[in-house]
Structure 1
Amino acid sequence: MFQKFLFAATCCLSLGFVAAAQDIKPAAGDVTAEVQLNLTEGSTVGLGASQLRGRYFLSPTTAVRTSFSLQVQNDDFNDDYNRTSTRIEFAPGIEKHFAGTERLSPYVGGEIRFSKLFASEENPNADIEGAWSNNGNNFNITNRNYFGLGLGVVAGADYYFAKHVYLGVEFGLGFQYITEGDVEVNPSNGSSRTFDGEAGSFYFGPSVTSGLRLGFVF
C-alpha cells in the first residue's frame, strides 16, 4: 500500500514539475517587455545605446514586436567645443520561436527599421545645425544628420532563468536606405551657409545588439 502511495506521489510531483516547466515560457496573449542599457566609456559622456522592446505573443511560437532605441552623445573638448548627437530608431516586426528546451527559446524574425540622426555643434567660430565640424573646419562637416529606412532579419534566443523572467541575445542582417539632411553653418562673423542634403545611399551589413536583454512576461 505504501509503495503504491509513493509511486502515485512521485507521478504527481513529476507532472507538476513538467507543467511548471511548460509554464515558464510565454503563451498566446502574453506580453513581454525588455530593456537594454549600455553606458559608454572614455572621454565621451552619454547614454550609449538604450533599447526598449515589447512583444505580443499571438501563439506560443509567434510574436509581433516593436523596438525603440535611443543613443545620445555629448562631446566637450578643448573647453570651447560642444557637440551633441541623438539617434532614434523605431522597428516593428515579427518573430517565429522554436521548441528549443524547457528554458531556452530560439527564434528568427524580420523587422522594418526607421531611424533618424540629429546633430549640432557650438564652437568659437560658428554654430552648426545638422552636423559637426571636421576638427574645427566649419565648412568641412562630418556626422551629418540623416533619415534611414531599412529591412532586416534577426536571430536570437531567450533563456528563462525564472518563471516569466529571461535574458536574451540577438544579432541581425539587413540593408538601409539613408538620405542626408540639410546643414546650416552660422559663423560668428560673416554670412550663413546652407549645405543641401545629398542623394540617398544604400547600406548592407550585419547588426549586433551588444549586451544582454533583460525581459519580463506579463
Structure 2
Amino acid sequence: MLKKFIIAAAFTVVAGFSASAQDATATGGIKPTTGEITGEVQLSITGGSTISLNQLRGRYFLSPTTAFRASFALDAYSDTNDDENRTSTLVVLAPGIEKHFAGTERLSPYVGAELRLSKFFVDYDSDNLEVKGGWPNNFNGNVNERNYFGVGLGVVAGADYYFAKHVYLGVEFGYGLNYLTYGDVEVNPANGNDYTIDSDRSTLRLGSSVNGGLRLGFVF
C-alpha cells in the first residue's frame, strides 16, 4: 500500500537527519562535486503493496553543476498456463546530461536531456503453436503483443534532497518524443504451414512521463 511506502520513506529521512548531525563536523560538502559518481535505484509500488526496484542510474559530475547520466532498466515477464508459455523482456538504456542549480545546502534541483533506446522481446509457445516475436490473439489469429525497437528524445526535470552526507532521495518527470518500429512475427503452427507477419507498423508519441516512486542514491 502507498501508506507503507510513505512510512518507509519517512523513516529513511528521519534516520538520515540523525546521521547528518554527525556529518556536520566532517570535511567536504553534502552534495557531489567534480569527479564524483552517484549510483541510484528507483523504487516503485507494484501490486499495491510491494516496493520494487525498476531502474538503475549512474551519474558522473563534470563539475558541481553538470553531470553525465545513464539509466538502465530491465523488465522480464514469464507466464505459464497449462501448455502455454508467454515470455517478454524489455531492455531500456538512456544516456543523457543534467544541469544542476544552486538550490539550497541540501536540495539540488536540475534539468536535463536524454536519449532513450528500448528493445522489447516477446515469444509464445504451446503444444500446438510457436510464435517468435509476438503473442497470439486467440480471437482473430493475429497478435496482440509484438516485438519492437524504440528511440526517444526527451527533457527531464527533477530534484535531489541530500538528507545525509552523500545520500539522497529524488523525484523526476519528463516530456519527450518516442518512436517505435515493430518487428516481424514468425508463426509456426504444429499442424499447418509456417508464415510471417511482416513488419508494417510504427508509432510516434509526444507526451509527458512521470518516473513513479522515489529514487534513492549515493555518492561514491
Report how far residue 123 of structure 1 moved. 2.8
Matches within 5 A, 1:131-210: 131-134=134-137, 136-137=138-139, 139-210=141-212
Report how far residue 199 of structure 1 moved. 4.0
- 3-state SS in 2 of match to 1:210: coil
Structure-1 residue corresponding to 2:13: none
- Going from structure 1 to structure 2, the CA distance change for 1:92 and 1:193 (only over 3 Å counts) comes to same
Which residue identity lines up with residue 197 of structure 1 in the other structure?
Answer: S
Q: TM-score, normalised by structure 1?
A: 0.82
Q: Does 1:117 align with 2:120?
A: yes
> 1:114–1:149: 8 Å Cα contact kept in structure 2?
yes
> 2:118–2:149: 8 Å Cα contact kept in structure 1?
yes
> Identity across aligned pairs (percent)?
61
CA RMSD of aligned residues (A): 2.3
Which residue identity lines up with residue 64 of structure 1 in the other structure?
Answer: F
Which residue identity lines up with residue 84 of structure 1 in the other structure?
Answer: T
Q: Does 1:68 align with 2:77?
A: no
> 1:121–1:128: 8 Å Cα contact kept in structure 2?
yes
- Going from structure 1 to structure 2, the CA distance change for 1:152 and 1:92 (only over 3 Å counts) comes to same
Structure-1 residue corresponding to 2:131: 128
Partners in 1 of 2:206 and 2:53 — Cα distance? 21
- Going from structure 1 to structure 2, the CA distance change for 1:39 and 1:182 (only over 3 Å counts) comes to farther
1:90-116 deviation line (CA, Å, top 9, x unaligned): 111000111111111111100011100
- 3-state SS in 1 of match to 2:141: strand
Partners in 2 of 1:203 and 1:163 — Cα distance? 40
- Going from structure 1 to structure 2, the CA distance change for 1:103 and 1:20 (only over 3 Å counts) comes to farther
Which residue identity lines up with residue 209 of structure 2 in the other structure?
Answer: S
Report how far residue 124 of structure 1 moved. 3.9
> 2:186–2:196: 8 Å Cα contact kept in structure 1?
yes
> 2:44–2:214: 8 Å Cα contact kept in structure 1?
no
Partners in 2 of 1:131 and 1:154 — Cα distance? 32
- Going from structure 1 to structure 2, the CA distance change for 1:48 and 1:194 (only over 3 Å counts) comes to farther
Partners in 2 of 1:22 and 1:53 — Cα distance? 24
> 2:86–2:135: 8 Å Cα contact kept in structure 1?
yes
- 3-state SS in 1 of match to 2:40: strand
Which residue identity lines up with residue 177 of structure 1 in the other structure?
Answer: Y
**Equivalent residue pairs, number:** 196
Which residue identity lines up with residue 213 of structure 2 in the other structure?
Answer: G
- More displaced stretch, 90-99 vs 190-199: 190-199
Structure-2 residue corresponding to 1:29: 35
Report how far residue 73 of structure 1 moved. 1.7
Which residue identity lines up with residue 146 of structure 2 in the other structure?
Answer: R
- 3-state SS in 2 of match to 1:64: strand
- The higher radius of gyration belongs to 1
In structure 2, stretches of 5+ residues that fail to align are 1-22
Report how far residue 133 of structure 1 moved. 1.3
Structure-1 residue corresponding to 2:8: none
In structure 1, stretches of 5+ residues that fail to align are 1-15
> 1:21–1:102: 8 Å Cα contact kept in structure 2?
no
